[in-house]
Structure 1
Amino acid sequence: MATRANSVPHPTLIKVDPFKPADVQEGLHNRWHPDIPPFATVKPGEVFKIECIDWTGAQIGNNDNSDDIKNVNLTKVHNLSGPVAVEGAEPGDCLVVDILDVTPFEQMPWGYTGIFELENGGGLFAREFNSKACKAIWDFKGVYATSRHIPGVRFAGVSHPGLIGTAPSAELLATWNKREGELIAAHANAVPPVAFPPEPVGAYVGQKLPEDVMKKVATEGARTIPGREHGGNCDIKNLSRGSRCYFPVFVKGANLSVGDLHFSQGDGELSFCGAIEMAGIITFSTSIIKGGVEKFALKQPIFLPSPIDPLYSSKLIFEGISVDYHGDGKQYNMDATVAYKQAALNAIAYLQKIGYTREQAYLLLSAAPIESHVGAVVDSPNACVTLALPLGIFEHDILPKEEGLTKKDFGQCAIRSDGLL
């Protein structure tokens, strides 16, 4: 018969309460800095679990208005669980991280997708839409997500960490701050900002650090908004269970951190808070390849995607080129971002013909497992990017027909209590 003696559970190295603010909990941090010590240490090959709070640190609620999105404090976001040191890892090595599982908390079977304000967060279409806060709450039922705020869709999630990476060295951190500082200086009045400099306000490390160390982390620590050489906030939706990640190591122990878990996400994560954000549990195993940075020319991480993917074979594909035909008609030269925007705007316009509001369509393309591909970046002047919308996520037929599209009333997503859109 089965016995407890032969059934040893994998340890949970960092525990969090998803209903409490991040800045009262241990084992979390929201800045990248080499002086943040490891909160836990593992041996290569050990399987372990890490609990993660949602990326805002429990600032967003399961309700029917978006005032919490409007008022979110972005100096306190991306509360990462960690760092976790791996015994034997040294600068120049490659840290191999196997993502064995990613699940929501049983006591919190919901997540959210948000459109942030132009002046507080932004998003891909922040300027074009003059964005006002909106959100959709998604309920999880096994592998599926549905939303009362975007009716008529149901899809399987590809759950993954939006943010995972190793700690930077002091030299790498200085490089980040220098180059991003120069970018900010060159675009001093940009709305939304082009980058986020170190910010002592809201900086948090859930460990007892000497005052001088905490001050250094707060004044020098890199914000966690973008991805960088070490990994970070890359939002790659196919890094789900079964994925393997190869990270460059910059400090002793590698000091792995993870957070910003997503139940699902479309390629591009359009709306900034564009995945189905969730709190949850991630299971890891690690190993080390000595000298891996040199062996693999590892300037940035390399990934093997998950072998598990929802089977949505039928898709409606929207094309975009590097001409701003939804705006002023300006011709750009091989600009894949402009092309992606046009493909997404084409899809949003199509979904509006079916009856979804612009806000609902924006949120849906952010959250659902859409796929985007670069078609060509050689045919000057127009880069070509495609966006594929799975037909199987809809409860109704959305294909083009000779008689046109049938428009339905899907209501509206959660908006601000003052009604502004």
Structure 2
Amino acid sequence: MGSHSLHINRRQSHLKWSNAITPVLKVDSGAVVTFDALDASNGQVSTSTSAEDVSNFDINLADPVYGPVYVNGAEPGDALEVEILDLKTADWGWTAVMPGFGLLADEFREPQIKIWDLPADKPYAVFKEGIRIPLRPFLGEMGVAPEADGEFSTIPPLITGGNIDCRHLTVGSKLFLPVKTPGALFSCGDGHAAQGDGEVCGTAIETSMHATLRLTVRKNHDWVASPHYFAAPLAPIAGFEDRGSYAALGINSDLLEATRDALRGIINYLTATRGLTRTEAYMLASIAVDLKLAEVVDMPNFGVAATLPLNIFQGE
């Protein structure tokens, strides 16, 4: 089978995980496969989309994945290694606040959208004057078919992968997925140009993606019972030298509420010191803020840090 034929196009998509979906491609272990994936809106968002249009967004069409690919020799008890060889974004992307979606959905009820320029000759995108976001593309969705029969939404993550939104799976990284059905039935999608750990407003810089992946069967890896990954060292981006970070701690006996409190704290910082509206701060947090477990053993309270790298602010 020639390498030119190992390609999944934008028409070869599905909106549910299922072990009953007929594979669109069969490959040997170690094959390199390219994928052309629409963004998470499934084409509903364009460069002219307005906040009013966001109100009409059909969530049932969101988060398509492309495939599935049957990998010869993959059996339950194995792991599928997915090596990320290359990722190319479109020249634009979007971030939105969608009613009813996101970590603070009860506080941000009005739809909003930002359309980003993603020029190929720059390693960053401009949020607004004085704020630049380094671009580190990754696929939000990579997964294999579940063991259980039936259909499962592509929106929540599963132990077989899917919408894990792990920003560390950049070029050079490897994802290991537990095989639950013969051939693994791998699919991927949901391209992101940048995101903070947590994706707090529910969207990153969403973009279409051309992905090049190597799929390799790792035999007798039943100890991989959920997604594992190797994160490649990040190459430095000029203009984004480490200048430290600012963090807000959320303290609460409920881990979710501690996380929400930390996010509120960083939003307060951004509005008080950086001249952003609350909605702008919420969106920026989804792109640039990392959520970290700072303390989990001093019961009854948890400590969660919402951490903002200060190198996104220019001219300081």
- What TM-score comes out, normalization by structure 1 length? 0.70
- Higher Rg of the two aligned structures: 1
Distance 1:286 1:312 in 2: 34
**What residue number does 2:110 align with?**
132
In structure 1, give the amino acid aligned to 2:31: E
Which one has the bigger strand percentage?
A: 2
- For 1:38, the equivalent position in structure 2 comes to 23
Compute the displacement of 1:396 (Å): 4.5
Q: Which amino acid aligns with 1:123?
A: G
> Structure 1 stretches (4+) deviating beyond 6 angstroms?
none
Q: Give the superposed CA RMSD.
A: 1.8
SS of the residue 1:276 aligns to: coil
Does 2:138 correspond to 1:144? no
Aligned-residue offset at 1:309 = 4.9
1:117 aligned partner: 99
Task: Show structure 2 runs of 5+ residues with no match.
Answer: none
Query: How is 1:292-331 mapped onto 2 (pairs within 5 angstroms)?
Result: 292-293=221-222, 297-310=223-236, 312-323=241-252
Instruction: Give 1:261 deviation, angstroms.
Output: 0.8
Counterpart of 1:211 in structure 2 is none
More helix by share: 1
1:86 is aligned with what amino acid?
V
Q: CA separation in 2, counterparts of 1:378 and 1:132?
A: 37
Deviation per CA, 1:40-84, whole angstroms, max 9, x where unpaired?
112112222111011111101213621222110011111111001
* Structure 1 equivalent of residue 201 of structure 2: 271
| CA contact 1:39–1:84 (8 Å) conserved in 2 | yes
2:9 alignment partner, one of 1, 9, 15: 15
Is contact 1:12–1:51 with CA below 8 Å preserved after alignment?
A: no
Q: How far is the alpha carbon of 1:382 from its aligned partner?
A: 1.9
Find the counterpart in structure 2 of residue 357 from structure 1: 277
Whole-Å separation in 2 of the counterparts to 1:361 and 1:95: 38
Change (3 A) 1:14 1:64: closer
Aligned pair count reads 309
**Deviations along 1:283-321, whole A, 9 cap, x unmatched?**
11121111211xxx2220110113225555223332323
Alignment-mate amino acid for residue 275 of structure 2: G
Asked if 1:261 corresponds to 2:196, the answer is no
User: Would the aligned equivalents of 1:97 and 1:284 in 2 still touch at CA under 8 Å?
Assistant: yes
Map of 1:405 onto structure 2: none
3-state secondary structure, aligned to 2:153: coil
In the TM superposition, what is the alpha-carbon distance from 1:235 to its structure 2 partner?
Answer: 0.6
1:80 correspondence with 2:80? no
Q: Distance in 2 between matches of 1:314 and 1:339?
A: 26
Structure 1: unaligned runs, 5 residues or longer: 1-7, 17-25, 174-219, 324-332, 398-421
| Deviation at residue 12 of structure 1 after TM alignment | 5.2
Q: What is the one-letter code of the residue matched to 2:281?
A: A
How far does residue 114 in structure 1 lie from its aligned partner after superposition? 0.7
Specify the SS of the correspondent of 1:314: coil
Query: Equivalences for 1:41-120 in 2 at 5 Å?
Result: 41-63=26-48, 65-105=50-90, 109-118=91-100
Structure 1 residue 230, shift from structure 2 partner: 0.1
- Whether the 8 Å contact between 1:315 and 1:388 is mirrored in structure 2 is no
For 2:54 and 2:129, how far apart are their aligned partners in 1? 21
Match 2:297 to one of 378, 396, 402: 378
Partner amino acid, structure 1, of 2:28:
K
Does the 8 Å contact 1:96/1:287 carry over to 2? Answer: yes
Q: Secondary structure at the match of 1:292?
A: coil
CA pair 226-309 structure 1, distance change in 2 beyond 3 A: farther
Q: 1:392 and 1:125 mapped to 2: Cα distance? A: 25
* Structure-2 separation of matches of 1:394 and 1:11: 44
Q: Where in structure 2 are the equivalents of 1:245-256 lying within 5 Å?
A: 245-256=175-186
Q: So what's the TM-score if we normalise by structure 2?
A: 0.92
